[in-house]
Amino acid sequence: VEVIVGELGEGEIIGELSMLRNLTRSATVVAMERTHCLVLPQTEFLKVLQSSTELALALLRTLAGRLYDTDRRLSRYAPDPVTGLAGRRAFHDQYRRLAAVARRRKTGGLLLVVDVFQLKAINDRWGYGIGDDVLRIVADALVEGTRTTDLIVRHGGDEFVIFFPDAGPGDADIVITRVREKIKALAGKRGVPVAVRCNFGVAYAQAPPDSAEELLREADQDMLRRKR
């Protein structure tokens, strides 16, 4: 499974923790364009650190900065407490990375918007506990009905969004059918006292834009057409 964990820019380093801890690498760096890199074997890297206080301090500052950035991202991207999925902020940041890769590889991308049908009415009649059960059923069905490389989030309220890298427009109906079957099976298994139904909207781009807003608008329009 290929998972994109980040992108490196000019002057950045990779692999220093593996060398310091004498571990095998945990990630692979792929150059998407012509790149000049300085490669140091472990023994040379350690010698340079031992002989240069300035370089050692620079490395410490880099590592401290990464820890700070990681803590900030974790607090910003805290998972949704009801479904355990990522939220809106995480979606838009991760989407930009996946869209950039899709444009470079010319593989396209499919976006699916899922609205839980009459969630407010369910909450009003049965209470928020049942409403949360419905949200968890839909979230679990989306996870079970998609690939591990797909980006799945609770975008807010009754809305979920999934971005499928390397997927075409012909895959949409297949995914929707699979998710509906998963929802029906999970609702029956968990015994919720309401029918769990969803509306779907689809958007596709051969070259996904940097912002997801355009695809989200197209998917919302497609959902309205499907409701007619």
pLDDT of amino acid 3: 47
Overall average pLDDT of the 94-114 stretch? 91
Domain boundaries, the chain: 16-76, 88-227
What percent of the chain lies above the pLDDT cut of 70? 91
User: How far is the CA of 149 from the CAs of 88, 90, 96, 175, in angstroms?
Assistant: 18, 15, 15, 14
Q: Angle of helix 42-51 relative to helix 53-76, nearest 10 degrees?
A: 110
183, 141 contact by CB (below 8 A): yes
162, 150 contact by CB (below 8 A): yes
Calculate the CA 205 to chain-centre distance: 18
What is the number of helices (H) and of strands (E) in the chain? 8, 4
For 141-163, write each residue's pLDDT tens digit: 999 999 988 999 999 899 999 99
Tokens linked to 148: 């591990």
pLDDT of amino acid 71: 67
pLDDT of amino acid 7: 67
What's the rounded Cα separation, in Å, for the pair 63 and 67?
6
pLDDT of amino acid 2: 45
What percent of the chain lies above the pLDDT cut of 90? 52
94, 190 contact by CB (below 8 A): no
Global pTM reads: 0.71
Q: Which CATH superfamily is domain 88-227 in?
A: Reverse transcriptase/Diguanylate cyclase domain (3.30.70.270)
